[in-house]
Structure 1
């Protein structure tokens, strides 16, 4: 007997059940997407003989309507009924920032009951690392403006409390985003509870200045994930041009990890991930440096 002919407790086939099904029986929350588009760029240099400092930047849009009118938010919006979540994310990104044709990976799903004052909204966040020099960013749709912000997220307080079955680790982070015209910030608290083999982490926006919704904690979480992923994947190479120096690559790792790396250790770590070329840099004021390119087969190099 086919599954469609099996009767349920009410004596209905699947076709009869679906024909009588009342979709309004349950309240339906709205579904949205939020995109975190990161890039690493050179800070303006005052001395052309010095290598430019690199900074981590995040794309934000200025809200043109309530709620949080005039505040900065992640690009995003509501999913339509006839599109997948990923299709909705790509559409919203194009509509609000003019960015399209980039690879994004799903980050997390945010579902706190009161995260949006309009209605119950569940949001799926996506993250991407991009070379911003190839993007033409423009505000469209319901965004009043779209800008890159230099972003930093630093731990400034930590407290660990032992419990009978494990421990509770509470941390406070300072999140700061800035550009030539705007400075916005937030304080995010994370509480990690460990009981035996079970671990859970909760996030809370303690204070927010200019960042809409709960996007401050989404950004903090994305930076944490980014710092973890750069240690064991080739995600950093999405930020690099086709040819690059090992010093430039190390700077990208350092700005994302927010710490200095030993040159010898770093070069051993990424040795299989790059291929040496016969080309050199030609920048005025600098000694020529060997150029490298990404090795797409690096993951097989140790096998």
Structure 2
């Protein structure tokens, strides 16, 4: 039980201390939340006999005011004094994009001093991988537009440099975003030193507001790692699916082709085979599977 009568060096109890506490002693930075909402969408089929290609997309909003007016940004906004970060993230996402009540994972906190030209702003980023088919995207009153952008993650350069007691690593990553009307890009320098500290620096940004290109690069990196050891990919799948469809989702997120036999061994404990088959015209019937909700990652 807390002893309310313990006094500090000035002879004050906790109650007395809080009554006279001056909140203006410290400067108070602003705090924002920014959301990285990813989905995987089937592109239109040119040949009905072939499975549709899948593409990784991210949701962005077009800013309607300064700073970065007319540039594209992650959905985001300032946290109110009387709400939690999670509450703020859901409120802002709903207000700016019309997306409501989805699960988002807190990803990373960005605190560089000069990252926002308005004032000192610290941002907590959130990430979600969702099925966008049931969503109706609509820009909020303070944004000009909200739209899905295709995402491509390119490793442009990688080098290892000898330093005292070991090596330092550097990568140059290019993020390309596009849809029917816009093309955006960013180049990020990622460095890792001997003690494992990783720094990210934007060296070029075209059409992307603030330092959000850096957020996107980090989120894709995390997404690729998480899909390896979690059931994250199944957020995108219907109740019944083929293993080929599931493999396509893994491939588009990881940015590489996978061997079918090895992939099927990898997910064998995560899926349950059904007695049902596909009925798509132009394709041989394929066995349908469902997610094994009792699956647990083996440690």
Residue 258 of structure 2 aligns with which residue? 261
Write the distance in 1 (CA, Å) between the matches of 2:14 and 2:166: 48
Residue 217 (1) aligns with residue 207 (2): no
For 1:1-303, what aligned pairs fall within 5 Å after superposition?
2-194=2-194, 198-299=195-296
Structure 1 segments of 4+ aligned residues over 3 angstroms from their partners:
none
TM-score, with length taken from structure 2: 0.98
Change (3 A) 1:7 1:239: same
Write the distance in 1 (CA, Å) between the matches of 2:2 and 2:49: 76
| Per-residue deviation, 1:154 | 1.0
Q: Secondary structure at the match of 2:157?
A: strand
Write the distance in 1 (CA, Å) between the matches of 2:103 and 2:166: 39
Write the distance in 2 (CA, Å) between the matches of 1:74 and 1:241: 27
Q: Secondary structure at the match of 2:296?
A: helix
For structure 1, the 5+ residue unaligned runs are none
For structure 2, the 5+ residue unaligned runs are none
| Per-residue deviation, 1:165 | 2.0
Write the distance in 2 (CA, Å) between the matches of 1:72 and 1:4: 52
Residues 173-211 of structure 1: CA distance to partner in whole angstroms, max 9, x if unpaired?
Answer: 1100000111100111101111xxx21000011000000
Write the distance in 2 (CA, Å) between the matches of 1:5 and 1:173: 57
Across the aligned residues of Structure 1 and Structure 2, the Cα RMSD in angstroms comes to 1.2
> 133-142 or 110-119, which moves further after superposition?
133-142
Write the distance in 1 (CA, Å) between the matches of 2:148 and 2:238: 19
